[in-house]
Copies of this chain bind each other. A is one copy, B any other.
Amino acid sequence: MKRIFATTALAVALSFGAGISTAQDAAIEARQNLMQLQAFNLGQLGAMAKGEMPYDAEQAQVAADNLVALARLDQSAMWPEGSDSFATDKTRAKPAIWDNFSDLMEKDQALVEAAVAMQEIAGTDLDALRGRMEQVGKACGACHEDYREPKN
Contacts and interface: CB of A to CB of B under 8 A. Distances in A.
Interface string A40-83: 11011001000011101001001101100110111011100000
Interface residues of A, number: 37
Contacts of A88: none
A62 B74 contact: yes
A17 interface: yes
Interface stretch (A31-39, A91-99, A102-110, A112-120): A31-39
A30 interface: yes
Contacts of A14: 43-44, 47, 53
A51 B33 CA distance: 26
Contacts of A74: 62, 65-66
Given A13-B54, A14-B47, A54-B13, A62 B76 contact: yes
A76 B77 CA distance: 28
Given A14-B47, A30-B40, A40-B26, A9 B56 contact: yes
A10 interface: yes
Interface of A: 2, 7, 9-10, 13-14, 16-17, 26, 29-30, 33-34, 36-37, 40-41, 43-44, 47, 52-54, 56, 59, 62-63, 65-66, 69-70, 72-74, 76-78
